[in-house]
Amino acid sequence: MNAPYARAAAKVAADGTLLSVIKRTFNACVVASDALHARPGGGQDLTRLRFADVQAVFSAMSCIRCSDNGELASRKWRMDSFSVSST
């Protein structure tokens, strides 16, 4: 992950969470980081992100494929990837 805030968010999400959830969240963070890194400014400064940057992340998320069979990930999987549960 390129942006420091993305690494920090992943560390917070990993605290006390199931390994499968950590992997899914980490993968989503990598997809988001890659999408932002390809944009002007590389997504390094959280305060400079705009709608187009968020749109790039969601576009990248819509193309995530399952590693086991290559099919598009379900909408629920993609949504759950960005949710952080305290349970």
User: How far is 2 from 16, CA to CA, in rounded Å?
Assistant: 24
How confident is the model over 54-68, as pLDDT tens digits? Answer: 899 888 888 887 777
Taking a C-beta distance cutoff of 8 angstroms, is the pair 64, 72 a contact?
yes
Contacts of 57 (CB under 8 A, 6+ apart): 31, 32, 35, 36
pTM of full prediction above 0.85: no
User: How far is 65 from 50, CA to CA, in rounded Å?
Assistant: 26
Would you say the C-alpha torsion 75, 63, 14, 45 has a positive or negative sign? negative
Give the pLDDT of the chain (87 residues) as one tens digit per residue: 677 777 777 777 666 666 777 777 788 888 888 999 999 988 888 888 899 998 998 888 888 877 777 788 888 877 777 665 544
For the chain, give every domain's residue range.
4-81
For residue 85, what is the DSSP state? -
